[in-house]
Structure 1
Amino acid sequence: MEQAETLFREGVLSHLDQLETLSHNLAVKQERSLREAEALQEKRAAILQLKKERDELRTKVTRQEEQIRALSVKAEGSRPQGPNTKKALLGLKLEGVTGMMEALWFTGISGKKTDHGMCFCLSTAFEGHYLGSYYIEVNNLERPQIGRHCIPVVIPLAEISAAHLQTSLKKFLSLLFDHINAFAGRKYQADRLQDSPGACAPGTLQKNSLHTVLAFSYNVTRHGQNLLFSAKLLYRDVTAVLPTEALVTCPENVESAQEAASSHSSLFRRMPLHKALESLAKEEESPSFS
């Protein structure tokens, strides 16, 4: 009888310890969620302010473009063009480019005048981490031409240039930046996965040069059982940093593994890769009372 009572007390105490651990973990998660909500609110306020400033700059650029068109039409109707008219046109174009750069500065694009035109700097970043800068020269602003550059060969520069450089320098730069920044973001996630011990099974990481296909295997413990999952992430949108499709499989023919594979697939599509794997690791650490 005494032995049974002792076992009962130990079982109750063990269960209370588990409940206390769970309560502590929930309190930590709630505090972290509160801090994240406050930080998110501050970021939203900053974004609204930046959008306001961006809209003001866009209005300024539009007004300058209208002045350029008006003066161009006037010059066309009163040939031959004198040096003062040409100088005024060039001055307005440079002023328009300067205004455009002020508007694009908020997106990571900056530039400066050169003897032949403009040199633009495309600064890439992902989740607040600066990843690197790429430079491209655009010569002859009246009939823009690509000069020297260090754009990665995997970026379709010729295609983007042929489609937009002559008609809209702003659209050309914006689209080029979208391609480069997304490429840098995908590469950052793949490199971080490769450099993080235990994040994936050794020797399983595969990727292409544009980082639009990423395959790897990883281990997850569920209900005391170690399961090996294989993931293949597809980025069909080359201007995106999150995959459009995530194929996750597990060779173990158990219902819990198949349910987990579906959940992991959704997680990889919604979160950056390292955060998704960190979330899976936290799930392993959470106490289970089933």
Structure 2
Amino acid sequence: MEGASTKGVLSHLSLLEVQARSRKTQPQQPSRVKELKAKVEALLTQRDQLRAEIETHKNLKKLRASMDKRCTQEEEEEEEEGMDEDSENSKLLRLMARHTQLKDLLHAHHVIGGYNVIKTRQGKGMCVSLATAYEGVYLETYNLEIDVKPTVRISRHDVPPFIPLNNLAEQSSLQTDIRTLLDPLSQHLNAFAGRKQQLKLVKELHKSVVVMESNVLCSLLVLMFTVPKEKTLVLCSLDYTDRTRCLPTRVHFKCDDKELPDSPEWKKHRSLLMETPVHKALITMRKMGNIV
């Protein structure tokens, strides 16, 4: 009997405990409902924002497409005149589209190494300009017109024929990275422009030095010096076998005095001509009193 009464008491206590717990949870239900309502409102607000962003993105995409299709200045002027009648939202969208367009252009300019590029044939091609310079002076600019569709290929150019453009194109990854062509080509062109400019400066600054021979690529240069004391004539040959550099890879002296080319002083001159631009090296040789 005692065991049965004990079980009855325990059951009653369990029931009281369950009822007490339910009473504690009941006051919390309104706050839980309030929390869920706030969450629903937040999700609805987020949904509306996403819808607005999607709509804005669609409008920007349409505007970018229309901007990219502009081919003439007249079309651009007509579009600017039409903007006066647009709403404030339309003007803002156009400004945002223009901003993204400029960002894309800057990114592309960075990707291709800072080369000047303009689109041709309604985006099916592009024209790349490669400027050359030497000692801070801009010289000639060369242009390549490149088809990008259906495959990337050079269609027209004004690169001199003695520059190995076709070989450089074959050795490059033109279909995936155009800089693998533009960088070495620019190096060849700048080296050629530098050698050509050095030859020009030799003629302008050193009237007593006679240019006996030079070629179109300026990869070979033969000069004649006059040694002041003996009035000996010296032929100096400069060979630029590395066409990507402005300095010669070989310097050779020849004169009637067989011992002069191998003298310590003229060995220094040989090293000087291989390490210094020729027009500057000649100034040093003149100051040393070895040439007129």
TM-score by length of structure 1 reads 0.58
For the residue of structure 2 that corresponds to 1:205, the secondary structure is strand
Whether the 8 Å contact between 1:250 and 1:258 is mirrored in structure 2 is no
After superposition, the Cα gap between the structure-2 partners of 1:95 and 1:147, relative to the gap in structure 1 and judged at 3 Å, is farther
Distance in 1 of aligned mates of 2:253 and 2:104: 49
After superposition, the Cα gap between the structure-2 partners of 1:256 and 1:181, relative to the gap in structure 1 and judged at 3 Å, is closer
Partner of 2:219: 212
Whether the 8 Å contact between 1:121 and 1:134 is mirrored in structure 2 is yes
Partner of 1:279: 284
Whether the 8 Å contact between 1:248 and 1:264 is mirrored in structure 2 is no
Partner of 1:179: 188
| Structure 1 residue 257 displacement after superposition | 7.3
1:226 aligns with 2:235: no
For the residue of structure 1 that corresponds to 2:141, the secondary structure is strand
| Structure 1 residue 225 displacement after superposition | 3.4
Whether the 8 Å contact between 1:182 and 1:239 is mirrored in structure 2 is yes
Distance in 1 of aligned mates of 2:182 and 2:105: 12
Distance in 1 of aligned mates of 2:149 and 2:169: 14
Distance in 2 of aligned mates of 1:161 and 1:282: 45
After superposition, the Cα gap between the structure-2 partners of 1:160 and 1:226, relative to the gap in structure 1 and judged at 3 Å, is same
Partner of 1:134: 142
Partner of 1:151: 159
Q: Output one character per residue of 1:159-209: Cα deviation in whole Å (capped at 9) or x when no partner.
A: 1112212342011100110111111111111222234452413xx521122
Matched residue type, 1:110: N
Q: Paired residue for 1:266, among 266, 271, 286?
A: 271
Whether the 8 Å contact between 1:227 and 1:257 is mirrored in structure 2 is no
After superposition, the Cα gap between the structure-2 partners of 1:253 and 1:154, relative to the gap in structure 1 and judged at 3 Å, is closer
Distance in 2 of aligned mates of 1:211 and 1:236: 10
Partner of 1:237: 242
For the residue of structure 1 that corresponds to 2:243, the secondary structure is coil
TM-score by length of structure 2 reads 0.57
For the residue of structure 2 that corresponds to 1:247, the secondary structure is strand
After superposition, the Cα gap between the structure-2 partners of 1:217 and 1:274, relative to the gap in structure 1 and judged at 3 Å, is same
Question: Larger radius of gyration, structure 1 or 2?
Answer: 2
After superposition, the Cα gap between the structure-2 partners of 1:197 and 1:265, relative to the gap in structure 1 and judged at 3 Å, is closer
Q: Output one character per residue of 1:28-64: Cα deviation in whole Å (capped at 9) or x when no partner.
A: xxxxxxxxxxxxxxxxxxxxxxxxxxxxxxxxxxxxx
Matched residue type, 2:183: S
Q: Paired residue for 1:111, among 114, 117, 127?
A: 117
For the residue of structure 1 that corresponds to 2:144, the secondary structure is strand
Counterparts of 1:68-107 in structure 2 under 5 Å? 99-102=107-110
Give aligned-pair identity as a percent.
Answer: 31
After superposition, the Cα gap between the structure-2 partners of 1:258 and 1:197, relative to the gap in structure 1 and judged at 3 Å, is same
Q: Which has the higher contact order (CA 8 A, sep 6+)?
A: 1
Structure 2's unaligned 5+ residue stretches are 1-61, 69-101
Whether the 8 Å contact between 1:194 and 1:205 is mirrored in structure 2 is no
Q: How many residues align?
A: 191
After superposition, the Cα gap between the structure-2 partners of 1:183 and 1:97, relative to the gap in structure 1 and judged at 3 Å, is farther
| Structure 1 residue 105 displacement after superposition | 5.2
Distance in 2 of aligned mates of 1:188 and 1:169: 28
Whether the 8 Å contact between 1:199 and 1:277 is mirrored in structure 2 is no
Matched residue type, 2:236: A
| Structure 1 residue 226 displacement after superposition | 3.1
Structure 1's unaligned 5+ residue stretches are 1-83, 286-290
